[in-house]
Amino acid sequence: MKARVHVTLKNGVLDPQGKAIGHSLNRLGFPEVGDVRQGKFIELELAETDKAKAKARLDEMCRKLLANTVIENYSIELVG
């Protein structure tokens, strides 16, 4: 089974990288771009067939290592 984890900054946490990306896009001729928030995308191969079990394990992985819950949120998506 494949899993996709998205890690994003929590609301209210300043994202200077997102801001810089937004400014660059505006400068490159994309004035329609407003607020930009950037994050991480992590794809994992899992040796697990039970979706509920996989999700619980992924949740643990996110809390232990993949995300820093002081400033980041995470979401988990199971594929196939």
Q: Which residues bind another protein (CB under 8 A)?
A: 13-14, 16-17, 20, 40, 64-66, 68, 70-71
Tell me how far, at minimum, the Cβ of 80 lies from another protein, in Å: 25
The residue type of 38 is Q
Nearer CB in complex with another protein: 40/53: 40
Query: What is the distance between the alpha carbons of residues 4 and 55, in angstroms, rounded to a whole number?
Result: 11
The residue type of 10 is K
Nearer CB in complex with another protein: 12/80: 12
Look at residues 69, 75, 5 and name the one whose alpha carbon lies nearest to residue 43. Answer: 5
Tell me how far, at minimum, the Cβ of 50 lies from another protein, in Å: 26
Nearer CB in complex with another protein: 32/66: 66
Q: How far apart are the first and last CA of the chain?
A: 6
